[in-house]
Amino acid sequence: MITPRLQMILNNVSSGSVADIGTDHAYVPIELAKRGIRVIATDINRGPLSAAERNVRKNGVTVQLLSGSGLSPLQKGDAEEIIIAGMGGELIEKIISCDIEKAYSARLLLQPMSCQAELRKFLLSNGFVIEKEDLAVEGHKVYNLIIAKSGVSSAPAAEIDLHLPPSLYNHPLFPMLLAKKEREFTKQFNGLSRSKNKDFDELKRLNMLLSDIQKLKERNGL
């Protein structure tokens, strides 16, 4: 089943060969295969691979299914684009770190379910440029897509840019992302303010982020 967050990934594929890491039920690979794209789908667990195999067979398409952890089933250059979606940003970072040369060889379509800012910081500090970002809404949640490739990057001007990248300011869903980050930082700030052992440096950092969010709201008329 292609949900809005999966459709966002499909909308941003732009090559003839793709690898989907942690494919689960292979919904994205199946849709790509229907377009005539050569697809590799991997998963570390036998259960999801078996489900993927059934779905591939049911749809009458060709998808190469491989078992293994992270990028280890791939050879360098197997795919022009690599999708890593539906997992936490820390795990995505670990997957890239373990096989970084393979990651450098492809355009990366990354959909972190958490730790988006940390993943952006990792990419920019480890030989990647962020080419583009996209957003989708599913239910009441906002999902990010970070598209990166090998290249030289400069550090962001301010920490807020890691949480709310300027490239997304004009995206129609940016106000929802902005509201999400404001709720997140406000919750953290209020929780820390009530703590007996206050971390004043962290309170200062969160206050600065909330101040930057207020400026962005004013800029966008929100």
The pTM (predicted TM-score) of the whole model is: 0.94
CB 84 within 8 A of CB 109: yes
Q: How many helices (H) and strands (E) does the chain have?
A: 9, 7
State pLDDT tens for residues 31-76.
999 999 999 999 998 888 999 999 999 999 999 999 999 999 999 9
CB 63 within 8 A of CB 33: yes
Residue 84: name the closest of 53, 56, 51, 122 by CA.
Answer: 122
The one-letter code for the residue type at 61 is V
- pLDDT given at position 219: 84
Residue 184 CA to residue 122 CA, distance in Å, equals 21
Residue 202 CA to residue 104 CA, distance in Å, equals 34
State pLDDT tens for residues 111-148.
999 999 999 999 999 999 999 999 999 988 999 999 99
Give the homologous superfamily in CATH for domain 4-152. Answer: Vaccinia Virus protein VP39 (3.40.50.150)
Coil, helix or strand at residue 52: helix
Neighbours of 154 (CB within 10 A): 7
